[in-house]
Amino acid sequence: MYRLSIAVLAALAAALAVVSLSAAAPQQKHAKKHRYHRIISLSPTVTEDLFAIGAGKQVVAVDNQSNYPKRAPRTSLSGFTPNVEAVANHHPDLVLISYDPGNFASQLRHLGIKVVFEPAANNLEQAYGEILGLGRLTGHRHGAKAVVRSMRRHLAAIVASVPTTRRHLRVYHELDPTYYSATSTTFIGSIYKLFGFRDIADAANGAGGGYPQLSGEFILARNPQIVVLADTRCCGQTYADVAARPGWSTISAVQHHRVFGANDDVASRWGPRIVQFARSVARIAKRG
């Protein structure tokens, strides 16, 4: 009798466990799919990533620099001089930042808000890693994987479209009209490296943490074959302005019209739109 009751109890317990497990499983899955419902992004790149992977509906506020996509809920929140109270006022359950001045992140954590730091990527793999990480956080693993797969596929096709004879062009990436540039240790530099281009700023490696200010005569002497202007919006630079600079008419890129006026925002972020940027660079490289 005693044995029987044990057996019955065990059977009951087993059945209960199976039932509760099968009942809990989809619930847990569901919870994981939308782990965070009130997300604040204080990084324009993270905003672009979130909307690309399909987590846009969970985003309640983005910072004042997050101008893409248009439907992102842009607020006056600042990612550079963030205010803890203003952020907390939106009642977020997850805050994503790329810059952490002072004790901003730890103060938010004191309020019981989850904060994840997504620093500026230095290469594509880091950028892919952030996108996949955001997918895990927001319950959009598949979306994130699809975005990364699409980026890889497109970038490979874009690079392959450039003939091998154009794979070793000298490139000058301009951040502002005083010749601040980016070396191949930076994210944008890694895109040029993908093509096999030689970044003229690499000669100044070590100065300026990947973003050195080049001297004007060095640029002329190095004679870049591609010039990418990432200062079209900030400083209104165009092909005509570049061609009119003293001595620049001797530069190969100017003579062959291989000057690309990029969207400053796209060129300074490490999100999915880098594919568009690469496509434009490829088009310029094939020119002339």
| Binding residues for other proteins (CB under 8 A) | 65, 78, 80-81, 175-180, 203-204, 206-208, 212-218, 220-221, 223, 232-238, 241, 245-247, 250
How far apart CA 131 and CA 128 sit, in angstroms, is 5
How far apart CA 96 and CA 45 sit, in angstroms, is 10
Shortest gap between Cβ of 279 and other proteins (angstroms)? 24
Q: What angle, rounded to 10 degrees, do the helices at 141-161 and 187-195 form?
A: 50
Shortest gap between Cβ of 19 and other proteins (angstroms)? 56
Shortest gap between Cβ of 63 and other proteins (angstroms)? 10
Shortest gap between Cβ of 103 and other proteins (angstroms)? 19
CA 282 to chain centre: 20
Shortest gap between Cβ of 195 and other proteins (angstroms)? 22
- CB closer to other proteins out of 140 and 273: 273
- CB closer to other proteins out of 112 and 209: 209
- CB closer to other proteins out of 36 and 277: 277
- CB closer to other proteins out of 42 and 131: 42
How far apart CA 219 and CA 226 sit, in angstroms, is 12
- Neighbouring CB atoms inside 10 A of 14's CB total 10
- Helix (H) or strand (E) holding 14, with range, is helix 2-33
- CB closer to other proteins out of 78 and 126: 78
Q: Which residues are CB-contacts of 229 (< 8 A; sequence separation ≥ 6)?
A: 174, 237, 238, 242, 259, 260, 261, 262
Residue 108 Cα distances to 9, 37, 40, 62, 97, angstroms: 49, 17, 12, 16, 11
Shortest gap between Cβ of 144 and other proteins (angstroms)? 27
- CB closer to other proteins out of 135 and 271: 271
Q: What angle, rounded to 10 degrees, do the helices at 124-138 and 44-53 form?
A: 60
Indicate the residue type of 219: I
